Amino acid sequence: MDKRNGRSGLWLDLLHRLLDANGGKLNGKLLLAIVVVAALVIVGFVVFRLILVDMILTLKDSR
């Protein structure tokens, strides 16, 4: 992996390894699992940030 690519290079390297391990074919179930996990991570991060902002604003209002 190249240092210049950074994080996107990591994801591309992981995708290439998955394709090589599966004979070059990415079946629908694996692609769906990747999309679902990515969506859960993004939604979890957004919810975490919203809870964090709410807690900070609540602490600020209580003073």
Assess contact for 49 and 55: CB atoms under 8 A.
Answer: no
Instruction: Check residue 5 and give its pLDDT.
Output: 54
Residue 45 parent element (H or E): helix 28-61
Supply the pTM of this predicted model. Answer: 0.57
For residues 23 and 39, the model is more confident at: 39
> For 9-31, how does the pLDDT look when each residue is reduced to its tens digit (9 = 90+)?
887 887 777 777 767 666 777 77
Domain positions in the chain: 7-61
Residue 14 has which token pair? 């992981």
